[in-house]
């Protein structure tokens, strides 16, 4: 006999939030094969050389395991440093050549698919390299260890040289992170981060007088990227850089016109970068 206290559970309907719909659309789109236009010229490398480079990278990466996007970003930074700092010190190299060489090496090493990357990407990466080269020269121009040596301040010169090397390294990391985002940016990951962020932002409460309240949103973003996608300090620093100085590339071109504005902007940028570098070591 059926227990009279039991009731039949009725059908329930669930309505997906707009963010959930975006997430499912992004996942569906990522799983749909991309149609490659045969008429668009693509970058193609030798299969034999590609296999050799691929196995070399596999051996190199087996020593220090990291997420795929971190490995690619580190490879990009490694190639950029070699081409700009080492090769560039021997002879003048155009940004377009560096861009083409970078993409070719990434394809050979298996970080990008062979015969799928449009040649138009060379110009896109060239533009990125050019603007970060401007930034690098801009922030390094105002740091002159030699001025301290002229005054006999060896300690001051060493400190300036240390800061110069750190800022130079930071600029290369930003360049590599930006290129990695443009080449391998995962739309599903971005949608996932936005989905989690929207779920957390109204549920994380801190005291009104807390010094962290003003930066709560960016701290949430950083925490999600760090814990979910294992972003390293360089990539987290890139997120911060875009957050605080989103239109920096336009400002660099603008301030280069007026010397007084140039010095004020450079000083502010130096202060910001020094603080960020200091915080990143903690």
pTM for this predicted structure: 0.74
Average pLDDT over residues 255-265: 58
Average pLDDT for 224-237 = 88
Percent of the chain with pLDDT over 90: 18
Rounded CA-CA distance 234/223 in Å is 14
d(CA 109, CA 114): 10
Residue 214, pLDDT score: 78
d(CA 83, CA 63): 24
44 vs 105, higher pLDDT: 105
- Distances in Å between the Cα of 161 and the Cα atoms of 30, 83, 84, 89, 273 are 46, 22, 19, 19, 15
Please tell me the chain's helix, strand, coil percentages from 3-state DSSP, rounded to the nearest 5.
70, 0, 30
In sequence order, the 6+-apart residues with CB closer than 8 A to the CB of 24 are: 16
Q: What is the CA radius of gyration of the chain?
A: 24
Q: Which two tokens stand for residue 183?
A: 């080449």
pLDDT digits (tens, 9 = 90+) for 40-97: 776 666 565 555 555 445 544 444 445 777 889 999 999 999 999 988 777 788 999 9
Residues 250-260, mean pLDDT to the nearest whole number: 59
**Which residue did the predictor score with more confidence, 269 or 242?**
242
**pLDDT > 70 in the chain, percent:** 65
């Amino acid at each position: 006999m059926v227990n009279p206290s039991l009731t039949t559970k009725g059908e329930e309907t669930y309505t997906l939030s707009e963010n959930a719909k975006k997430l499912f659309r992004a996942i569906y789109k990522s799983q749909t094969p991309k149609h490659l236009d045969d008429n668009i010229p693509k970058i193609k490398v030798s299969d034999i050389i590609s296999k050799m480079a691929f196995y070399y990278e596999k051996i190199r990466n087996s020593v220090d395991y990291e997420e795929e996007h971190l490995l690619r970003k580190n490879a990009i930074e490694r190639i950029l440093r070699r081409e700009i700092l080492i090769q560039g010190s021997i002879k003048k190299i155009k940004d377009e050549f560096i861009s083409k060489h970078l993409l070719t090496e990434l394809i050979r090493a298996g970080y990008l698919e062979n015969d799928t990357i449009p040649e138009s990407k060379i110009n896109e990466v060239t533009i990125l390299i050019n603007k970060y080269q401007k930034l690098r020269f801009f922030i390094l121009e105002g740091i002159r260890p030699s001025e301290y040596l002229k005054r006999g301040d060896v300690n001051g010169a060493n400190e300036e040289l240390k800061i110069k090397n750190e800022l130079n390294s930071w600029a290369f990391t930003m360049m590599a992170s930006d290129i990695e985002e443009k080449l391998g940016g995962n739309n599903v990951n971005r949608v996932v981060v936005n989905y989690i962020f929207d779920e957390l932002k109204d549920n994380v409460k801190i005291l009104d007088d807390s010094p962290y309240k003003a930066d709560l949103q960016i701290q949430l973003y950083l925490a999600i990227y760090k814990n979910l996608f294992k972003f390293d300090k360089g990539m987290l620093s890139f997120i911060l850089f875009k957050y605080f100085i989103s239109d920096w590339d336009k400002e660099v071109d603008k301030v280069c016109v007026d010397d007084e504005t140039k010095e004020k902007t450079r000083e502010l940028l130096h202060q910001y970068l020094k603080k960020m570098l200091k915080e990143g070591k903690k």
